Amino acid sequence: MRFPAALACLAALIASPATAQQAPAAPTSADNPGDGRIIGGTPVKKGKAPWMVEIFFIDSIPAKILAEDAAEEAAHSAQSDLLKDRPAYDINHECGAVLIARNWVLTAGHCIQDVSQTAPVADLVPMFMKYMRLRLGSLTIKGKSGSVCRPRQVVLADPGAGDIALIRIDQKACTPRPKPGSVAPIRIAGLSSDDLLLTDYSLNTSFTVYGWGMTKPRAINAKSVVTSASPHDVTARYLDPVAPSLQMAGPIFFVPHDRCLATPGYRAIVTDTMVCAGVQNGAMDQCTGDSGGPLVLDNKVGPGAKSVPLLIGLVHGGRGCGLAMTPGVYVYVPRFLDWIETTIGNGDARAGKTLLVQPQRGT
């Protein structure tokens, strides 16, 4: 997902014609034309990304939430009936997430908060627990694929600290239980002294982003504009549909913090707990529906060493989708290692801190 509508509108208000042309250039080595799709990605092959998780609504979506969706659709396109034409997997999909330990999943904090845009803050976690499920061990979100797990505990970081949340599941209670080898946690960067971290990144440091989000603009007859009384929302064209098969987009390249902040609208949104990445012409990018999904670095240490996927970030958002000189914004996960370890240790007394991710070589 890109920034929630309110933030996207804020970004549009901040950006002016005078500043829009001053967007910073991304590294020239990242100038990859891609294939023209918004995420510019390719389907993930079987056996890859065993740590990928989908967050989705159960079939009985509350009428109140459906009404919110219809209102958002109408505000952007004047056609609320478009919701009726979308497949169930598209309507029900909420976010991506990533397995970081056997019974713990990491995602963006706003994926919890977006369950309802109108509910009181105190109601968000109970609503998430009641209406949301997590899908493990599947590359597709169509039908009844993979293992469906109920959230057992949701822990949101303080909103002022970062856009991140932990969800505890019980794999033994998933339906059906994950098959051996079908799921495996990803290692978070920073658990080894050999891991590349933010201070080691250069303009040539590349990543891959994973998600089921938007891969192309909606149909031209969707009238992708907001009402004339509202600021132009650059995310308007990207409400639907999400991709039924998991996509990976890369290489996308590290954008230094100062360059990212120079992007119009980003100074009000990007914090020091985030990292930015993209390509110069925007051909590869995350988009609506990708929120909470992983930004991964393949870490290779020494000649002949196997590449080890490291979790670097979680999709936070960005201005528009696939726009030139406009990098994607990600939660920088290594910044939260202490919080993750403490939360996991306190969240399940039987498992304790031993649940913190161990290296997953060769995955």
Which single residue is written with the structure tokens 């999909």?
A: 93
Is the pLDDT at 78 greater than 80? The verdict is no
Distance of alpha carbon 12 from alpha carbon 264, whole angstroms: 8
Distance of alpha carbon 162 from alpha carbon 150, whole angstroms: 24
Name the superfamily (CATH) of residues 5-44+189-334.
Trypsin-like serine proteases (2.40.10.10)
Mean pLDDT of 136-147: 94
Is the pLDDT at 241 greater than 60? The verdict is yes
pLDDT score recorded for residue 299: 75
What's the CATH class of domain 52-185+338-349?
Answer: mainly beta
Mean pLDDT of 265-294: 93
Is the pLDDT at 115 greater than 70? The verdict is yes
Contact, 141 vs 95, CB < 8 A? no
Q: Judge whether 5-44+189-334 and 52-185+338-349 match in fold.
A: yes
pLDDT score recorded for residue 347: 60
Distance of alpha carbon 220 from alpha carbon 217, whole angstroms: 8
User: What percentage of the chain carries pLDDT values higher than 90?
Assistant: 47
Q: Model pTM greater than 0.75?
A: yes
pLDDT in tens, 213-226: 988 765 444 444 33
Distance of alpha carbon 362 from alpha carbon 139, whole angstroms: 19
Is the pLDDT at 181 greater than 90? The verdict is no
List, in sequence order, every beta strand (DSSP E) within 190-327: 206-211, 247-255, 274-278, 294-299, 308-317
Domain spans of the chain?
A: 5-44+189-334, 52-185+338-349
